[in-house]
Amino acid sequence: MASPCTPDPSQFLPTTAAEMKARGWDAVDVVFVSGDAYIDHPSFAAALLGRVLTAEGFRVAILPQPAWLDASAFRQFGKPRLCFAVSAGNMDSMINHYTANKKRRNDDAYSPGGKIELRPDRATNVYAQRCREAFPGTPVIAGGVEASLRRIAHFDYWSETVRPSILVTTKADLVGFGMGERVIVEVCKRLAAGQPITACRDLRGVAYLLGGKEQLPAHEWHDAACDNKTVELPSFEEVTADKVAFANATRLLHHETNPQNGRRLVQKHGDRLLVVNPPALALDEKGMDRVYDLPYTRKPHPRYKEPIPAHTMIKDSVTTMRGCFGGCTFCSITMHQGRAIQSRSQKSILKEVRQMAADPDFKGAISDVGGPTANMYQMRCSRPEVEAKCRRLSCIHPTVCKLLGKDHGPTKQLLKKVRETPGVTSVRVASGIRMDLARFDDEYLEDMARHHVGGQLKVAPEHTSEKVLGLMKKPATSTFDDFARKFAAASERAGKEQYLIPYFIASHPGSGVLEMIELAVFLKQRGYRPRQVQDFIPAPMDIATCMYWTGLDPMTMQPVETVKKLKDREVQRALMQYFKPENWFVVRKALLEANRKDLIGEGPQCLIPSNPPKVAMQNRRDEARGGRGRRGDPTYVHAKDAGVRSKGGMPCAPDDDEEED
């Protein structure tokens, strides 16, 4: 019999044929195939969607991280009555596997023990193939971040090529893009009613390929206020051969992402037509509550004997909302979760907090209350009729929209109630907050400093160059400086020694050596020493990825300088960590070539000393002898994934001289 702290397998969705039969089932309706370990927590898509379908009366099994060299594992539940639902997991499998330097990562936060190689590269493609081999003719639906960001022809950083829609490479019947609750439920209801998978082609949030002789069907998703036209993107062949065409396709795509007015997209792939329907509508508060109030155990399946890093990080966190209206060009959140903020009710959130507090494993500390951005809870446009027509990609760049509701009142009330819940001893906010929103409410910042910051608060200025910040759709550096002063003052009033943890990105489009020197000087002046470097990774379909590949800003069609060579990327990383002795030679060369000799010397403004440190000399000797030197392979972080961060770009506190290898 399981102990109170070890849940019984029957509390989870079945993961093996034996667990299925223990429920008295001889078959299941849907098999979810996932590249992640099975954690029955609403932060993980397979668990969330599986619970949603179960609540609708369907029999669901989870096939987590299956052996993929043949189809045997995919047959263990027998033929699913309705379909396979395939996902690479909470992260894109290529970003999960490889650094910005395209070297293999040495851990996987979504696997037991952090083990690597428990999922294949391009996992969605491989899993879909095995599903078709296991039971030919059974519908296969692809979803998740990897599929969402590859729904049209896209640039693939790991092969440096433009690849076709993932529908071509997976041969899936449908791709459900974005958050998939409504899509998967409606698909399963129609299949259960005896309709073919092709009858689901009118659904929002799905993409599919027409057969060579099939005609484009006529569908309508909007009322008379918005047109139902179909927008044709440049074909796969065009975007492969012409970077201007690729930039045009990117711009068209991003302007059709508002579910309330987004139009259907089509793109030719040879003699077949890719069809991308408008995105699914955002869930309202009741819809969010229904999803998050389901009976999750919040624990990994008992089959795992080793801890799963992603679960360790989020097990004591609470999701309050999803979506982001920031529109950062290097971030995939908006393309997957949407721009509209979808918030749970306080009642639903507090119910979850009380359940956590009653768990014998809970130690009293809530690690995070938030979402993609902690202080966007219950924020949205104050004029719904305007929101329905708006095609603006960011509500806060280049300026904060005057119609945006910026009230932090609901967030403050929620946090107060959470920290007053019996059994809760501390409540942290670790999601990161938008400085350009927090500045509108000094009381919110006071509450954060006094109650919800455990010594360090994450913020994301990302850069200091006005040019680069404009390309990123991030606020000016003055916003960070103003916020830093207010946070320091609030922390002092709270009687706490606390520091900001700012995230910065190296090698972003538009960022050259001069811009990185500007950033290095900024870091020097303010005493920040980043221990880890965020190196830009071009994720599929992002606007910044288009800049990287084409050298054009797709929104303006103006040229953008881009760093692509490994040696140039190494220079940018070294400049961000100018203080590391082993970076001395690289930084010195960059400064001299940029005519910034004034930053070499012993003065307080200098980045590096006149003479190389002993470590730098030893590192150079080691490299000359064919060794790697102390610098080795730096740690890379893609800090904007729609999943859990396995590592953070955590700098030292100001003036901390501690070195971390």
Looking at the chain, the whole-number percentage of residues with pLDDT higher than 90 is: 86
How many distinct structural domains can be found in the chain? 3
> pLDDT tier at 639 (50, 70, 90 boundaries)?
very low
Q: Do residues 67 and 205 share a domain?
A: yes
Domain assignment present for 2: no
Helix axes 513-526, 584-593, angle to 10 degrees: 120
The amino acid sitting at 202 is D
In the numeric block, the tokens 């830009």 are attached to 536
DSSP track, 440-479: T-HHHHHHIIIII-SSEEEEEEE---HHHHHHHT---HHH
Is the confidence at residue 638, as pLDDT, over 80? no
Instruction: Express the helix, strand and coil content of the chain in percent, nearest 5 each.
Output: 35, 15, 50
Angstrom distance (rounded) from CA 244 to CA 241: 9
CB atoms within 10 A of CB 207: 26
Domain assignment present for 250: no
Q: Do residues 124 and 200 share a domain?
A: yes
pLDDT of 628 reads: 53
- DSSP class of residue 369 equals E
Phi-psi region of 439 (alpha: psi -120 to 50; beta: other; left: phi over 0): alpha
pLDDT of 16 reads: 97
Q: Is 615 exposed, middle or buried (0-12, 13-18, 19+ CB in 10 A)?
A: middle
Tell me the pLDDT of the chain averaged across its residues: 92
Q: Do residues 422 and 490 share a domain?
A: no
Angstrom distance (rounded) from CA 533 to CA 522: 16
Task: Output the six-digit token pair for 649.
Answer: 């770009």
Closest among 228, 337, 222, 216 to 274, alpha carbons compared:
216
The amino acid sitting at 346 is Q
pLDDT of 270 reads: 96
Q: Do residues 421 and 385 share a domain?
A: yes
Domain assignment present for 469: yes
The better pLDDT of the pair 322, 627 is held by 322
CB atoms within 10 A of CB 547: 27
Q: Residues 305-329: what's their mean pLDDT?
A: 96
pLDDT tens by residue, 428-475:
998 889 999 998 899 999 999 999 998 999 899 999 999 999 999 999
Is the confidence at residue 646, as pLDDT, over 90? no
β pairing state of 60-64 and 154-156: unpaired
Looking at the chain, the whole-number percentage of residues with pLDDT higher than 70 is: 93
User: Is 565 within 8 Å of 100 (Cβ atoms)?
Assistant: no
- DSSP class of residue 305 equals -
* 105-109, 159-163, 203-207, 654-658: least confidently modelled range: 654-658
Domain assignment present for 390: yes
Q: The domain that contains 611 carries what CATH number?
A: 3.30.750.200
Q: The domain that contains 330 carries what CATH number?
A: 3.30.750.210
Residue 462 neighbours by CB under 8 Å, 6+ apart: 328, 330, 469, 472, 474, 503, 504, 505, 508
Q: The domain that contains 18 carries what CATH number?
A: 3.40.50.280
User: Is 407 within 8 Å of 401 (Cβ atoms)?
Assistant: no
User: Is 178 within 8 Å of 342 (Cβ atoms)?
Assistant: no
- DSSP class of residue 280 equals P
Is the confidence at residue 658, as pLDDT, over 80? no
- DSSP class of residue 267 equals E
Is the confidence at residue 634, as pLDDT, over 60? no
> pLDDT tier at 659 (50, 70, 90 boundaries)?
very low
Question: What sign for the dihedral angle of Cα 142, 145, 146, 151?
Answer: positive
Out of 276, 295, 329, pick the residue that ends a domain: 276
The better pLDDT of the pair 645, 130 is held by 130
Residue 126 neighbours by CB under 8 Å, 6+ apart: 68, 120
Task: Output the six-digit token pair for 114.
Answer: 């952090």
> pLDDT tier at 337 (50, 70, 90 boundaries)?
very high
pLDDT tens by residue, 239-268:
999 999 999 999 999 999 999 999 999 999
Q: Do residues 348 and 368 share a domain?
A: yes
pLDDT of 415 reads: 98
pLDDT of 612 reads: 92
DSSP track, 475-533: --HHHHHHHHHHHHHHHHHTT---EEEEEEEES-TT--HHHHHHHHHHHHHHT-B-SSB
Angstrom distance (rounded) from CA 388 to CA 390: 6
> pLDDT tier at 225 (50, 70, 90 boundaries)?
low
Out of 419, 452, 485, pick the residue that ends a domain: 452
Out of 417, 452, 487, pick the residue that ends a domain: 452
> pLDDT tier at 632 (50, 70, 90 boundaries)?
very low
Domain assignment present for 339: yes
Q: Do residues 50 and 154 share a domain?
A: yes
Q: Do residues 493 and 444 share a domain?
A: no
Q: Do residues 419 and 481 share a domain?
A: no
Q: Do residues 422 and 564 share a domain?
A: no
> pLDDT tier at 631 (50, 70, 90 boundaries)?
very low
Domain assignment present for 287: no
pLDDT tens by residue, 529-560:
988 889 999 999 999 999 999 999 999 999 99
> pLDDT tier at 618 (50, 70, 90 boundaries)?
confident
Domain assignment present for 47: yes
pLDDT tens by residue, 20-56:
999 999 999 999 999 999 999 999 999 999 999 999 9
Range of the domain at 548: 456-661
Q: Do residues 197 and 184 share a domain?
A: yes
Q: Do residues 439 and 475 share a domain?
A: no
Domain assignment present for 254: no
Q: Do residues 464 and 444 share a domain?
A: no
How far lies 226's CA from each of 159, 255, 356, 400, 422, in Å?
39, 14, 44, 25, 49
Angstrom distance (rounded) from CA 31 to CA 17: 11
